[in-house]
């Protein structure tokens, strides 16, 4: 129980650009146990995908992990050779992408692509591998799998292709599945089916899942615990129930308020958080959210808030000065403004 | 389990995506073949090219005489005995013409095969790895492209000694920059595709990704370029042979047969000496270019019809 499958510790990722080095993800720390699902939310450009790519060590030539450690199943991923990393990719950690329409190679049949993968990571004869591929396709709910396996990707719809991608990602029985916006490009009914499928497969195989999304609905549906990221930092971390019942960080609160609800008056304007994410080159000195925060104080402008654990909670952490003292958690925002 | 069943029932609508004009073709290849055969000129080209190829393969059986045999008649006019007449040393022109098609096809296909391999590998490496690798390879291409092509070939051939194999090698070693650039361009765009990234996340090695996942996707431009390349290699061989730096007599090539048309008397009075080889070059090159055009149109994804 205590063994974490994945431990990310104070991860810092930087990219080299023309204007010098830019830190894209800073001080990201989280743990993931076998069979657990973690959701990462945040708006575009806040480092969600970079975090997942750095676990896979796929930051490209310009990106590098500057600080921190990523320990997977007892191995330190940041220290591994490229060849060792290749054995982990697809085999122990696999990934599904946002765009199922372009994630399959158009010139090879579904079967070709699946068999290639199975050959690479598993010891199986040709006929066994084919039977296994068909079995995997059936498992993800593809009808007529025996025929579909010989089809080319352009014959399949987006939902079907995403199923094939999931079948491929899961065929080597990975311990960790990273799903980067797995349903964003799909329409709503297919989204629900894919999410149901992922839940079912998670139950069967005890795979840990890291799901990245900007859709709080999906996170609420899938995740056990949630990281809210803003401008490359984790601003709030909690289990999914706590987060939705009692969001603490003004950014999380803002995110929740900007979800449209059916009960909303049709005349009512949907809430939106003013402003945009600060540019990576010009990160504010204090709290990175202070320019957009209604509750910002002098302290927020000048001092970087640490990730504070809320007293009496089970691992609910928030990066906000509003919660620096326990009694202020109770008494709300008012006092802070007095201090300011 | 019930969940899977439920989905199977919902799915049928999705199994048959709307007919996007792709029709019933089973594969990309069949679709291209179909479109190619709709292109009239391309089919004409294919027919002519097939005839020339058959001529080259079956030369010993279909040529009326031995191409090297010197008959008693010098520069004889076309007749029942000598279909296209004889040349100035008395060899049968029809037979020489048939044997010469072997030379032209060998040069065309041989040289292109060499430079497609070189160009594709260099282009793929440059495109995929980028940075200084790309920089080095592309500057090398620029250097090769800056050569005065014909002059360099002439010099190289005269150093190595004019022969069929040397021409193939020289043309092959000099022709790759065009292909390299095309492949680099395609690889640059294809390497950003999600399926390449997916391939990396599935743990494939870099050579596997470059050569097995990316290259098959740039096949269309390579093929089209190679087709046109064959035509220009044939012309190049003809020019070299015409200049005496190509295939050496007595071996017949369309180019060196034209050499005989260097005097005004031959040009004006002995038409059978130079019109047939000239026509053959024209026909071969035109047919290949038509095929290339057809292929390009067939492989252009925008001409989905």
Establish, for the pair of chains A and B, how many residue pairs have beta carbons separated by less than 8 Å: 92
pLDDT at B303: 55
CB nearest to A157's CB, from B14, B193, B219: B14
pLDDT for res B282: 92
Which residue in the block uniquely carries the two structure tokens 């005269």? B158
Query: What pLDDT is stored for residue B20 in this prediction?
Result: 43
Contacts of B12 in chain A (CB under 8 A): 143
Total count of residues recorded for chain B = 305
* Cα-based distances in Å from A29 to A10, A73, A103, A283, A308: 5, 16, 29, 20, 13
Which residue has tokens 């998670």? A202
Question: Does any CB of chain B come closer than 8 Å to the CB of residue A102?
Answer: yes
Establish if A267 belongs to a structural domain: yes
A57 touching B (Cβ < 8 Å): no
Q: What pLDDT does B305 receive?
A: 44
Q: What's residue A335's pLDDT?
A: 40
The number of residues in chain A equals: 340
Average pLDDT estimate for B54-66: 86
Is A269 among the domain residues? yes
Span B5-34, average pLDDT: 51
Is the pLDDT reported for residue B23 higher than 70?
no
pLDDT band at B16 (very low <50, low <70, confident <90, very high): very low
Nearest to B193 among A102, A155, A157 (CB): A102
Direct distance between the N- and C-terminal alpha carbons of chain B, in angstroms, rounded to an integer = 42
Contact A141 B202 (CB under 8 A): no
Angstrom distance (rounded) from CA A250 to CA A319: 10
pLDDT given at position A251: 87
B226: left (phi over 0), alpha (psi -120 to 50) or beta: alpha
- Quick one: pLDDT band at residue B117, thresholds 50, 70, 90? very high
What band does B95 get if pLDDT is binned at 50, 70 and 90?
A: confident
The reply to whether residue A97 touches residue B197, judged by beta carbons under 8 angstroms, is yes
Spatial separation of the C-alpha atoms in residues A239 and A218, rounded to whole Å: 14
CA distance B83 to chain A (A): 50
Question: Would you give the DSSP letter of residue A146?
Answer: H
A266 vs A286: CA distance, rounded Å = 38
Query: CA nearest A286: which of A321, A237, A252, A234?
Result: A321
A59 CB neighbours in chain B (<8 A) are: none
| pLDDT digit string, tens, across residues B275-284 | 888 899 899 9
Question: CA of B32, closest CA in chain A: separation in Å?
Answer: 13
The domain spans of chain B are 27-303
Residue A282 CB partners (closer than 8 Å, separation 6+) = none
pLDDT higher at B24 or B302: B302
Asked whether the beta carbons of residue B11 and residue A143 sit closer than 8 angstroms, the reply is yes
- pLDDT for position B250: 81
Which chain B residue lies closest to A88 (C-alpha atoms)?
Answer: B203
Does pLDDT of B22 surpass 50?
A: no
Task: State in Å, rounded, how far the first CA of chain A is from the last one.
Answer: 44
Q: How many domains does chain A have?
A: 1
Nearest chain B residue to A55 by CA: give it. B201
Q: Chain A closest CA to B263's CA: distance in Å?
A: 55
Mapped to the 3 state alphabet, what secondary structure does B3-71 carry? HHHHHHHHCHHHHCCCCCCCCCCCCHHHHHHHHHHHCHHHHHHHHHHHHHHHHHHCHHHHCCCCCCCCC
Those residues with Cβ within 8 angstroms of residue B65's Cβ, 6 or more apart along the chain or in another chain: B71, B92, B94, B95
pTM confidence score: 0.75
CB A172 within 8 A of CB A118: yes
The answer to whether residue A99 neighbours chain B at the CB level (below 8 Å) is: yes
What pLDDT band is residue B179 in, cutting at 50, 70 and 90?
Answer: very high
**Tally of CB atoms within 10 A around B193:** 18
Contact A105 B27 (CB under 8 A): no
More confident residue, B305 or A306: A306
Assigned domain for A70 exists: no
Instruction: Give domain status of residue A149, yes or no.
Output: no
CATH fold group of domain B27-303: MetI-like fold (1.10.3720)
Which of A16, A63, A98, A103 to probe by mutation at the B interface, max B CB count within 10 Å?
A103
Distance from CA of A155 to the nearest CA of B (A): 7
Rounded to 10 degrees, the C-alpha dihedral A278/A281/A282/A287 comes to 60
A201 is a domain residue: no
Is the pLDDT score of B294 beyond 60? yes
Does the CB of A103 have a partner CB in chain B at under 8 Å? yes
pLDDT of residue B302: 61
- Averaged in consecutive runs of 10 residues, what is the pLDDT profile of chain A (340 residues)? 77 84 84 88 82 84 84 85 85 84 84 87 86 86 85 83 85 86 80 84 86 86 88 86 85 83 74 79 81 81 81 79 60 40
With a cut of 70, say whether residue B270 has pLDDT above it.
Answer: yes
Task: Supply the mean pLDDT for chain B.
Answer: 82
Beta-carbon neighbour count of residue A173 at 10 Å? 13
Domain coverage including residue A250: 245-339
Residues of B with CB under 8 A from a CB of A: 3-4, 7-8, 10-12, 14-15, 17, 22, 27-28, 130-131, 193-195, 197-205, 213, 216-217, 219
């Amino acid at each position: 129980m205590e063994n974490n499958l994945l431990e990310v510790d104070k991860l810092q990722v930087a990219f080299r650009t023309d204007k010098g080095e830019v830190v894209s993800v800073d001080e990201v720390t989280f743990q993931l146990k076998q069979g657990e699902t973690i959701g990462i939310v945040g708006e575009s450009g806040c480092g969600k995908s970079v975090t997942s790519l750095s676990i896979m060590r796929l930051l490209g030539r310009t990106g590098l992990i500057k600080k921190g450690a990523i320990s997977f199943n007892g191995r330190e991923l940041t220290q591994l050779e490229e060849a060792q990393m290749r054995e982990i990719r697809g085999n122990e950690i696999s990934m599904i992408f946002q765009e199922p329409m372009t994630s399959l190679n158009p010139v090879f049949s579904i079967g070709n692509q699946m068999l290639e993968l199975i050959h690479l990571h598993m010891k199986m004869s040709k006929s066994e591998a084919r039977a296994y591929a068909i079995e995997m396709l059936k498992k993800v709910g593809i009808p007529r799998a025996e025929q579909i396996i010989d089809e080319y990707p352009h014959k399949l719809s987006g939902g079907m292709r995403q199923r094939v991608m999931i079948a491929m990602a899961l065929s080597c029985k990975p311990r960790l599945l990273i799903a980067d916006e797995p349903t964003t490009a799909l329409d709503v009914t297919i989204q629900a089916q894919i999410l149901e499928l992922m839940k079912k497969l998670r139950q069967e195989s005890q795979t840990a899942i890291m799901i990245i999304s900007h859709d709080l609905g999906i996170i609420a549906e899938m995740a056990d615990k949630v990281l809210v990221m803003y401008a490359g930092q984790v601003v709030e971390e909690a289990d999914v129930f706590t987060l939705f019942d009692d969001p603490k960080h003004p950014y999380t609160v803002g995110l929740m308020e900007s979800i449209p609800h059916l009960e909303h008056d049709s005349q009512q304007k949907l809430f939106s958080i003013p402003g945009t994410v600060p540019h990576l080159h010009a990160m504010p000195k204090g709290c990175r959210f202070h320019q957009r925060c209604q509750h910002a104080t002098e302290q927020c402008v000048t001092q970087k808030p640490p990730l504070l654990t809320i007293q009496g909670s089970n691992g609910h952490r928030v990066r906000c000065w509003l919660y620096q003292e326990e009694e202020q958690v109770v008494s709300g925002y008012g006092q802070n403004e007095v201090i300011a | 389990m019930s969940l899977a069943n439920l989905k199977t029932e919902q799915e049928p609508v999705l199994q048959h995506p709307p007919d996007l004009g792709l029709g019933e073709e089973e594969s990309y290849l069949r679709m291209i073949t179909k479109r190619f055969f709709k292109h009239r000129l391309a089919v004409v080209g294919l027919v002519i090219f097939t005839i020339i190829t058959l001529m080259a393969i079956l030369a010993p059986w279909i040529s009326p005489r031995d191409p090297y045999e010197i008959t008693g008649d010098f520069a004889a006019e076309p007749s029942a005995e000598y279909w296209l007449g004889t040349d100035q040393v008395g060899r049968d022109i029809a037979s020489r013409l048939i044997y010469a098609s072997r030379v032209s096809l060998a040069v065309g296909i041989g040289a292109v095969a060499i430079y497609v391999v070189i160009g594709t590998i260099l282009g793929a490496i440059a495109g995929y790895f980028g940075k200084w690798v790309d920089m080095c390879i592309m500057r090398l291409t620029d250097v090769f492209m800056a050569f005065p092509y014909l002059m360099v070939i002439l010099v190289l051939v005269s150093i190595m000694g004019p022969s069929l194999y040397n021409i193939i090698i020289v043309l092959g070693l000099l022709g790759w920059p065009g292909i390299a650039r095309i492949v680099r361009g395609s690889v640059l765009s294809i390497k950003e595709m999600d399926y390449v990234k997916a391939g990396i996340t599935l743990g494939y090695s870099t050579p596997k990704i470059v050569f097995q996942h990316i290259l098959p996707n740039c096949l269309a431009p390579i093929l089209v370029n190679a087709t046109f390349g064959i035509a220009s290699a044939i012309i190049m061989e003809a020019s070299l042979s015409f200049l005496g730096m190509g295939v050496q007599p007595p071996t017949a090539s369309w180019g060196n047969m034209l050499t005989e048309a260097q005097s005004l008397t031959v040009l004006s009075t002995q038409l059978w000496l130079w019109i047939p080889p000239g026509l053959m070059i024209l026909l071969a090159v035109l047919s290949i270019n038509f095929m290339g055009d057809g292929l390009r149109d067939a492989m252009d994804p925008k001409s989905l019809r």
